[in-house]
Structure 1
Amino acid sequence: MGQNITLRLDKELIRKAKVLAAQQGTSVSGLLTRHLEQLINEEGVYETSRQYALALLERGLHLGGKIPCPREQWHDR
């Protein structure tokens, strides 16, 4: 069972939210719940992606290719 919260919103915003919710076949509460869940899920995906990217940077990337001779030979003339 969910927990109730109280919001203070402008009357015109509430009216528009009721119309939008009715168009989508839900309540204002359902509309807000769905959008909050979406925001939270997006934040979780972002954080997971961020951690993965940081781990790649820490580990480094192999860009392929091999140097056929030691560095010193490149500078011998």
Structure 2
Amino acid sequence: MMEKQNITLSLSKDVLRRVKVLAAEQDTSVTAIMERLLSEYATHHEGYRQARQDHMALLRSGFDLGTEGAPSWTREELHER
């Protein structure tokens, strides 16, 4: 079992009341709901961070356009009508 640590939260009375009712309806606890929500939040943002890092690394490495750094066409040729 993972080690737990207590924290203090300050929630509006209305939100806490509503969450307690939902927890009771789902036969769970407010703690279990908070742990699940916070875990999902962390997983989502960690995934986003990793995807961003991967994308930035790809951009830094550049793309092979087959030109070896010197295009064989001019701007005018590309925009001819």
Which category of TM-score, normalised to the shorter sequence, fits these structures? 0.7 to 0.9
Consecutive unaligned residues in structure 1, runs of 5 or more: none
Number of the residue aligned with 1:56: 58
Gaps of 5+ in 2: 75-81
Match runs of 1:9-20 below 5 Å: 9-20=11-22
- 1:17-38 residue CA offsets vs partner (Å, 9 max, x unmatched): 1122223331001100110111
Tell me which stretches of 4 or more aligned residues in structure 1 moved more than 3 Å.
none
Letter in 2 for 1:25: D
Give TM-score, length-normalised by structure 2.
0.70
Structure 1 distance, partners of 2:27, 2:61, is 49
Q: Residue 23 of structure 2 aligns with which residue?
A: 21
Distance 1:5 1:61, change over 3 A: same
How do 1:1-77 residues align onto structure 2 when only pairs under 5 Å count?
1-63=3-65, 71=72
Aligned length: 70
| CA RMSD, Structure 1 to Structure 2 (Å) | 2.4
Change (3 A) 1:62 1:26: farther
Identical counterparts, % of pairs = 43
Q: Secondary structure at the match of 1:12?
A: helix
